[in-house]
Amino acid sequence: MALASSINCAETDLTADFRDQFLQTFQHMMLSRVLEEKLGSLYRAGGRIVGGVYLGKGQEAFSAALGIQLRKGKDVYAPLIRDQAGRIAFGEPIIDTVRTYLGAVTGPMRGRDGNIHRGRPKEGHMAMISHLGSMLAVASGALFARRLAGTLGDSVGATSIGDGGTSTGAFHEGLNMAAVEKLPMIVSVANNQYAYSTPNTRQYACENLVDRAAGYGVEGVTVDATDLASCLKAFRAAVARARSGGGPQMVVGTLLRLSGHGEHDDASYIPDKARHAPNARDCLQVAEEFACAHGWMTPAEVRELHEEVRRTVDQTVSKVSKEPTPDPYKENWQALSCAELVEGQYKA
């Protein structure tokens, strides 16, 4: 069996079930885009958002195509920096995003941690840390424990990383370990060509990132990440292989990051030439054209969807804006779950 291949979506793949999933994913992508545009404008306006804003513009198809394959409550998902769309597809409500960015106490992170670092680990949604590469092993650990407990069943784990993150030792150790343990992990690598300002040529010397998979005995495919249909096909297949005992699967998506590293970054280091290359297409537009060309949606329906999504986002932001932010006097300042072990807090 060839360890690395490339995925394209043929017309014969377009079953009714595929169409439904495509349209559902497209909605998630649209919601993600509109939400992120709102977050970006709030950031630029200043005052409301706590900390930085990190967007996934251009990565929605790749991210959501994975998220939609996962079953919330059954599978484990450890998203990363540019996975807003995947989070939505997985079932994270956008109010969790807004509350985290605005630092509301009502959010999953209660103002203690922010922006993209949110999660609900007890629901299989891991909360990332900044240190790149570290989530692969953590997601694997969740699966490992389930296998020990006999509750693994056909659940899978999934995590994301960028081209830059694949240079970390943690990524390599994590991938190797998952392969040795034959865990049902899907590792999606968004090769958006730049790690902050650093181009691929300064990040890795192999020709194709997917070659990393073969080195660990992991099956890998490359996909055009600007094309939702191909992304769906690739992740469907990868998740199916992992579910049926095929061990870790790597899917590498090629694209260009269409935003700065964060909203503080104008990405002026990306040359015009890269911006006009085929893999710099906007996946949202590509998906819209695909849906319309196949008669799955009309342009009017797309506009309607956009309007509806915008209303949802605006309502969510205005609701969260009225919610309380943390009060240091009410905070318990407790980093341990065992209150009696917190120094200075013990009361007989």
82 binds, among ligand TPP, another protein, none (CB under 5 to 8 A by kind): ligand TPP
Measured between alpha carbons, how far is 28 from 34 in angstroms, rounded to an integer? Answer: 10
- Total number of residues binding another protein (CB under 8 A)? 41
In the complex, minimum distance from the CB of residue 67 to another protein, in angstroms, rounded to a whole number: 24
In the complex, minimum distance from the CB of residue 254 to another protein, in angstroms, rounded to a whole number: 19
C-beta of residue 152 within 8 angstroms of C-beta of residue 191: no
Determine if 209 is a binding residue for ligand TPP (CB under 6 A): no
Going by C-alpha positions, the residue among 39, 24, 25, 5 that lies closest to residue 316 is 39
Which of 136, 195, 232, 270 binds another protein (CB under 8 A)? It is 195
Determine if 125 is a binding residue for ligand TPP (CB under 6 A): no
Determine if 210 is a binding residue for ligand TPP (CB under 6 A): no
Determine if 15 is a binding residue for another protein (CB under 8 A): no
Burial of 44 (0-12, 13-18, 19+ CB in 10 A): exposed
Encoded tokens for 18? 């595929």
Neighbours of 301 (CB within 10 A): 13
Measured between alpha carbons, how far is 343 from 348 in angstroms, rounded to an integer? Answer: 13
331 binds, among ligand TPP, another protein, none (CB under 5 to 8 A by kind): another protein
Encoded tokens for 342? 């917190």
Neighbours of 178 (CB within 10 A): 27
Which of 164, 184, 220, 260 binds ligand TPP (CB under 6 A)? It is 164
Using DSSP bridges, classify how beta strands 219-224 and 4-7 pair: parallel, antiparallel or unpaired: parallel
C-beta of residue 105 within 8 angstroms of C-beta of residue 323: yes
Which of 16, 148, 335, 348 binds another protein (CB under 8 A)? It is 335
Number of separate helices (H) and strands (E) present in the chain: 11, 8
Residues 279-338 that bind ligand TPP (CB under 6 A): none
Contacting positions for another protein (CB under 8 A): 50-52, 103, 109, 111-115, 117, 129-132, 164-165, 167-170, 195-198, 202-204, 269, 325-329, 331, 333-335, 342-344
Contacting positions for ligand TPP (CB under 6 A): 81-82, 130-132, 162-165, 168, 190, 192, 194-196, 257, 261
